[in-house]
Amino acid sequence: MRVGVPREIKDQEYRVGLTPASVRELVSRDHKVLVKAGAGAAIGLSDHSYKLAGAQLAGGAEEVFGWAELIVKVKEPQPAERALLKPGQVLYAYLHLAADREQTWSW
């Protein structure tokens, strides 16, 4: 499976969907992982640590969403991210829809 990890863009959200240790586990099971460059920087997870774990780095969110079969995020997709989701793609994220009425009705 191709697993994509974008950088969280929700205001005040600095976490990242997968840690380097999680990436290592997925890669060891023959999955491919693409992480947006800088995705973990705000919490001290370097691009280098993701590369050592076996991830490839992406330059932008469009690349991550366009390539991945599974998107792993922490928070609900923001409007710009929802526009990048495609049919058949799986989103694995915490959906706090009560705080986002527009998104609640768009699904």
Q: Which tokens sit at 4?
A: 């994509």
Give the per-residue pLDDT at 104.
Answer: 67
DSSP string covering 53-86, please?
HT-EEESSHHHHHHH-SEEE-SSPPPHHHHTT--
Q: What tokens does 11 get?
A: 């205001």
| pTM greater than 0.75 | yes
CATH number for the domain harbouring residue 56: 3.40.50.720
The tens digit of pLDDT for each residue in 66-89 reads 999 999 999 999 999 999 999 999
Fill in the DSSP letter of residue 93.
S
Tally of structural domains, the chain: 1
* pLDDT of 103: 67
For residues 32 and 57, the answer to whether their CB atoms sit within 8 Å is no
Share of the chain above pLDDT 70, in %: 93
Is residue 37 within 8 Å of residue 58, measured between CB atoms? yes
Domain containing 72 equals 2-106
pLDDT less than 70: residues of the chain: 103-107
